[in-house]
Amino acid sequence: MPSVSDILDSMDYGPSPEQTDHVKDWLARHKEGFGHFIAGAFTGGASQWIDVDNPATGERLARVPQGTSADVDAAVKAARKAFPAWSKLPGHARAKHLYALARHIQKRERFFAVLETMDNGKTIRESRDIDVPLVARHFYHHAGWAQLIESEFPGHGPVGVCGQIIPWNFPLLMLAWKIAPALAAGNTVVLKPAEYTPLTALALAEACVEAGLPKGVVNIVTGDGETGAALAAHPDVDKVAFTGSTEVGRLIRQATAGSGKKLSLELGGKSPFIVYEDADLDAAVEGVVDAVWFNQGQVCCAGTRLLVQEGIAPRFLQKLRKRMETLRVGDPLDKSTDMGPLVAPQQLQRVSGLVKKGESEGGTLVQAPGALPQKGNYFPPSLFLDAEPASTVMQEEIFGPVVAAMTFRTPDEAATLANHTRYGLAASIWSENINVALDGAARMKAGVVWINSTNLFDAAAGFGGYKESGFGREGGREGLYEYLTADWLKALPKDASSPKGKLAGSTVRGEPLAPDAIDRTAKLYVGGKQARPDGGYSYAVTNAKGKVIGQAGLGNRKDIRNAVEAAVKASAWSSASAHNRAQVLYFIAENLGARRDEFAKRLVQAGHSARDAAREVEASLERIFFYAAHADKYDGRIHSTNAKKQTTLAFNEPYGVMALVCPTDAPLLAMVSLLMPVLAMGNRAVLVPSEEMPLIATDFYQVLDTSDVPGGAVNIVTGARDELAKTLAEHDEVAAMWYHGSTQGAAMVEKASAGNLKATWTFGGRKVNWFDAVQAQGHEYLRRSVQVKNIWIPYGE
């Protein structure tokens, strides 16, 4: 046996294995196979089984049933049956159930940690010290929300039955992220764990029974992607929450289009890790270890795009290579192991293939020395040097222990390189200069930014992405909204209306203008200027009696592209202060008020009575004032995360370019009600006005011209509503879209939006009463005009 002095000289680690007998005993009791957990009990038997293997050894741990559509249907029926009673429970009663689950997890935390490591391959230190405590934290935190939900979310209620699909990288933690807020809000759940890692979900099902959760509130169906697809497509599921790859998220968006299901997607990432020249280099090196080699790099927000300022790059990369050599890869149940195996042979094959592709593209690969275990899905810590910005290893999510490094010279270049990706999940910034750090954080197009830290998570802070990293948030106040719906939204009637006829080009012949008509052909409004439609066509605008009152431009795909391009260029509006935006909105109201008689006359031409026309103009003025008032008051929060000397700021940031498709009725008021919250929050808009009464919008851009609205902040394209809407939904530079129209049009928009996974609000073809302040204005519109960025800021030494 070596002496203490020998050990101090060699720094060799002795074996320190975690005891597994209690988990093996539990698995032995289920050696014939597990069942689905439906209506508070485990089902028996299966026609087809899935083997669950230990990634470290390849040995079979258990087998679980391959869920069928019949299994999914049974689970959804159980959840539906349990929903009325569970949703009507007082918040305090639901809080007690969540508290009981949290306590049960804490009492069995060692069991859960060992089972998670055996099932997933992550090290026992990570399971024991990070995952399981966070699982308990989520249930405790959401027990509090259940208690407070009626007072903190007035006018909101549960969505209904939630179908939840989780990945294999954080099996138990992802379950808590999904189930805890759903139950707190009063929903019932059908959850499908990943086929590779279902065991801790089934163990938690047992905990649900032991903690006294009512039957059917939580149901768990195991299986592969086909099972998940059946759950997402089930007609009696009201909400789908998915965490996984962008490719699968895109399929779910398409499959749920037009179904009326609420949807949240937490998808892939390729996160930048930025090291400035004034950073604490040793701390930043440890940050890379936590960002990339934590959980074998199988983390959607892993900082695998390493950007180092040029002056310090040689020294930093030398330190990183030296630190990489000390990482211990091996048995994840050994408490001295830094990195375990990848989850499955298929994942090992994928990572190996992407690394080979990186080498073939000219990247210089550096890997940690040392032999890997003979059994298991092991891959060494890896670093690519001299990576090109467009290379595979710099652009594609590898989901393994691989980081690609490149240099930058200036903060501007760092931000450009960091945002040069289709993803936008997270970013990590390292600098001892708080000005540099916060400026960098503000520039990141990502839902989470860690300053001098990485991979920090807490139930009180929202987590989720921008761009193709999905939409919606998990955790915190913003995450709870994903499992609630406004009462007024539920009560909206279906709108069966559609434009009266198919629009065709050219002017109308043989039909004289109405006596009170203004003889002009209104143009489009693009980039702050009136523009003729690309096709050169116009269409007749008629009043309620069918008389022609004017002509409007018939916009096409090229006009939409021009409008979006103008909106992209108008980024100064998004960076303007909230006070300045408020002033502009007040100015719009002032100028509209000065022309109230003209706009009222235009509404009378469309068929409104003089009284109704005057009422709509006055309501529009009041609505502009409402959002002008909110422009500098709808702000963020400081989240109370469970971390010492850490401030977590939740910022409301504009999406950027938003598309707004207006309904046919209340042409002025509806347009103002949609446009003003979007402008107030700093977005730029491409607006398709009422197809039947577009002249209100073409009059309105004259108001914009005299109200200091920057060119491109508002763009108006008239024409066939659904044709233009489809082009907008397909456009990758449109970050979010609101649509008011038919049920079929709503389905079309949602399906077409899958290209860049933009956030959509289609109202499912429902009809809004635009004069009703509850339905047509308020925080729901403001909340859907922004995406939340959480910035984690440590302080102290």
The residues that are catalytic are 266, 300
* 93 contact partners, CB below 8 Å, separation of at least 6: none
* 8 Å CB contact between 675 and 685: yes
* 778 contact partners, CB below 8 Å, separation of at least 6: none
* 8 Å CB contact between 636 and 788: yes
Burial (CB count <10 Å: 0-12, 13-18, 19+), residue 26: middle
Write out the E strands in 174-300: 188-192, 218-220, 239-243, 262-266, 272-275
The DSSP annotation for 144-206 comes to: HHHHHHHHHSTTEEE--EEEEE--SSSHHHHHHHHHHHHHHTT-EEEEE--SS--HHHHHHHH
Q: Name the one residue in this structure whose structure tokens are 């925080």.
A: 779
Long-range contacts of 392-395 (CB under 8 A, 24+ apart): 392/354, 392/357, 392/358, 392/361, 393/354, 393/355, 393/357, 393/358, 393/361, 393/363, 394/270, 394/305, 395/270, 395/421, 395/422
Tell me how far apart the 2 most distant CA atoms of the chain are, in Å: 107
Phi and psi, residue 573, nearest 5°: -65, -40
Q: Name the one residue in this structure whose structure tokens are 């049933």.
A: 65
Burial (CB count <10 Å: 0-12, 13-18, 19+), residue 219: buried
Name the 3-class secondary structure at 387.
Answer: coil
Counting Cα atoms < 13 Å in the Cβ hemisphere of 117 gives: 30
